[in-house]
């Protein structure tokens, strides 16, 4: 993390505000293209999300989500193609089925399920991407810092 970014987060914390760190795992073909459309259209949205581009949401290993939380994420967003519109035919169906497994894993780890969000954003939905990012950021901001899981990691 750069010194400017650290200073921004430190000053927000010192002022009593909390700015969440959110990791987004996105599909290359739909959500990433939708985020790119939002950027090229100069749509405004909160800058708390760091995007990790993957070929397909069906390729997201549960360890990616755990590692995001271990590395300081306060929230994780998984976003891909709408069901039925997957570039790889059924990858988003695999991701949707894994959602139940992610839920059980997060409960086992003691993480609040509200810190993990799923969405479907197509390449033509730049406006929807901005709304999803703003909604997830506001939701995680209201939850506060993810200190519970960090404390568990430190005790191991």
Does 105 map to a domain?
yes
Does 14 map to a domain?
no
Does 49 map to a domain?
yes
Please tell me the pTM assigned to this model: 0.85
Does 9 map to a domain?
no
Domain count, the chain: 1
Instruction: Return all residues near 131 (Cβ < 8 A) that are at least 6 apart.
Output: 45
Does 44 map to a domain?
yes
* Per-residue pLDDT of the chain in tens (156 residues, 90 and over written 9): 333 444 344 434 434 689 999 999 999 999 999 999 999 999 999 999 999 999 999 888 888 999 999 999 999 999 999 988 888 888 888 888 888 788 888 888 888 899 999 999 999 999 999 999 999 999 999 999 998 777 777 776
Give me the pLDDT at residue 149, please: 73
Q: What are the structure tokens assigned to 3, written together?
A: 């010194």
Place of tokens 């921004």: 8
Does 130 map to a domain?
yes
CA gap 116, 143 in Å, rounded = 12
Does 1 map to a domain?
no
Give me the pLDDT at residue 16, please: 60
Does 70 map to a domain?
yes
Residue 124: give its domain's CATH number.
3.40.50
CA gap 53, 155 in Å, rounded = 32
Domain span at residue 143? 20-155
């Amino acid at each position: 993390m750069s010194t400017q970014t650290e200073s921004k987060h430190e000053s927000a914390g010192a002022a009593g505000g909390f700015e969440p760190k959110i990791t987004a795992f996105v599909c290359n073909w739909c959500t990433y293209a939708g985020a790119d459309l939002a950027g090229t259209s100069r749509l405004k949205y909160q800058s708390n999300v760091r995007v990790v581009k993957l070929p397909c949401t069906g390729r997201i290993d549960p360890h990616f989500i755990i590692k995001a939380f271990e590395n300081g994420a306060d929230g994780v967003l998984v976003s891909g193609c709408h069901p039925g519109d997957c570039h790889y035919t059924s990858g988003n169906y695999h991701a949707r089925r894994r959602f139940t497994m992610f839920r059980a894993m997060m409960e086992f780890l003691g993480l609040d399920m509200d810190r993990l969000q799923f969405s479907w954003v197509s390449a033509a939905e730049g406006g929807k991407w901005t709304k999803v990012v703003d909604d997830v950021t506001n939701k995680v901001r209201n939850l506060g810092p993810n200190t519970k899981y960090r404390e568990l990691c430190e005790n191991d």
